[in-house]
Amino acid sequence: MTATGGGLRVLAVDDTPLALADLCRLLREVPEVAEVVPAEDPVSALRIIQGDRFDAVFLDISMPGLNGMELASLLTRMTERPEIVFVTAHQEHAIDAFGIGAVDYLLKPVPAERLSAAVAKVARLVAAPVENGPAARVPDAMAALPVETAGRTRYVRRGDVQYVEANGDYVRLHTPGGAHLVRMPISRLEEYWEGSGFVRVHRGYLLALDAVRELRSDSVGGLLAHTDLGDVPVSRRHSRELREQLLLAAQRGELERPDRPA
């Protein structure tokens, strides 16, 4: 679904005229983009999308009436949905954005090279072989989590996380490169990662099965899961399930990470 000449057809949505004009200008400067259509509000955007076809929608979040997240949720229900890229001044919606399948999440003001990288992601997805079906174009949105620090965004890969610690409305991701704080309840992260080798072992901890070196008893008879980054407490109600999960993972040969020392 590409425009004539092989470039991308893109819809830009922002209720602030100057911001919309700037976004359209930046998009038109990206070589992969063939056409940019502006929309001044989500309702207009939805009307345009229903009557036309686009490869991607670059949209703001905070808009009157139907906001950007609500519009994106509607777009995900389309049979041939466009890829979604958020362009916003609000960093706190990043987790929800990736949870609904957004390709990228850009913070204003957006550097030209950052926008170009997002367009490149869209182009790769649009170019995915048709024979593989729609699923081939859907990225594993939660394979990496965005971490905002001093106005900069970095991504922590799920495969690098050995365990997750609850910290109020946040979670702390423990990786060999350090700990990273992300605004997200641990219960929601459990929903996203439970099918990717992570299990809840305590009300305050989520554990990667392949990070477990051994199980140990603490000084009061409790259970600890030992990882390279430290011991993770395992509650009594989760201890049996953890042992069973570790056994199944061992039988499937899933307990050794390629980068872990022997």
Mean pLDDT of 182-189: 84
Mean pLDDT of 45-66: 89
Residue 20: predicted pLDDT:
96
Two tokens at 2? 């590409």
* 23 phi, psi to nearest 5 deg: -65, -45
Does 129 have pLDDT greater than 70? no
Q: In 3D, which of 255, 218, 219, 247 has the Cα closest to residue 234? A: 218
pTM value?
0.56
Domains in the chain, start-ordered, CATH in brackets? 8-141 (3.40.50.2300), 152-251 (2.40.50.1020)
Q: Are 28 and 9 in contact (CB under 8 A)?
A: no
Question: pLDDT digit string (tens) for 95-104?
Answer: 788 888 888 9
Angle CA(103)–CA(109)–CA(114) in degrees, nearest 5?
Answer: 45
131: confidence class by pLDDT, cuts 50, 70, 90: very low
Two tokens at 14? 């922002």
260: confidence class by pLDDT, cuts 50, 70, 90: very low
Q: Are 164 and 196 in contact (CB under 8 A)?
A: no
Q: Write out the DSSP string of 176-219.
A: TTEEEEEES-HHHHHHHHTTTTEEEEETTEEEEGGG--EEEE-T
Does 136 have pLDDT greater than 70? no
SS3 45: helix
112-126 and 17-28 helices, crossing angle to 10°: 60
Out of 42-46, 168-172, 203-207, give the one with best mean pLDDT.
203-207
